[in-house]
Structure 1
Amino acid sequence: MKKLLTLAFLLLSLMSNAQQKISFAYDDAGNQIQRLMCLGCPAKNSGESPKEVADLKQEDLQKFFPTDVISYYPNPVKEQLYLKWELINDNKVTSIQLYSLSGQLVKSYNKLENTDNQTMTFGVYPNGIYTLLLLYANGEEKSIKIIKE
């Protein structure tokens, strides 16, 4: 039940963020004639080519909040997403689940207790918005919105 509530909240927040990427067109009488949703809008750093994982620096990694221990690069992603986390109080990431915008489980990564990073291939998935759900050993969950271009 907790997972469903988390997923529902996440989808609701994704939909509220999507409103910022919807554009409308109107005719002279004020009637709406066109509505466009841009899921693959260019990112602010879209002119840069993605770096190799070995070339990443700490400042390249994006974080949820300044105090958070989960970092990822790049977002939006084209081919591969690099995900890194720090273990605090022996609270280990046990698995990562990738969900599509419709809530369908796309991929699951298990048995991650002995690692602190994961490289995920996105090249085979269609463009859109995805949700990464990190499951911890103590039952805690964290989610990340990832845009695939």
Structure 2
Amino acid sequence: MARQTKLILCPVNLRHVKLEYNAYSEAVEMAQRRGAKLIVATVAPEIERNLNIYDSDKYWTEELKKFIAAHPAEGVDVETVVRKGATHRQIVKLADDRNVDVIIMESANPKVTDYLLGTTASHVVTHAECSVYVVRA
């Protein structure tokens, strides 16, 4: 018997979202099919490199709202979350804190340095307590 999926987490990198958002599309479709709630999250850096961003929490919250408005999830209960810190750790922590059933996230094509250092997706797959669905960009 298939597991019930009630809560899906989809981390979105807003710096690259104009190029690819395949994982978000997959997450929306899965949430629609399974009647699940969708948490769309972004992880902001602890220290902004862009000196024009004075209030990081407010800025990234607004950017995430713009993303959701531009890509509506018809018939899906969507919650947005902004976290600060190391992306790979915050995704796992949020999934654990909220007891999500599945994480759906993007993965770029691996490079040589990724094999040596590890990617965000590989860390999440290794450390998350729930299932992780990795969508190739």
Using structure 2 for the length normalisation, give the TM-score.
0.23
Larger helix share, 1 or 2: 2
Larger strand share, 1 or 2: 1
Q: Which has the higher contact order (CA 8 A, sep 6+)?
A: 2
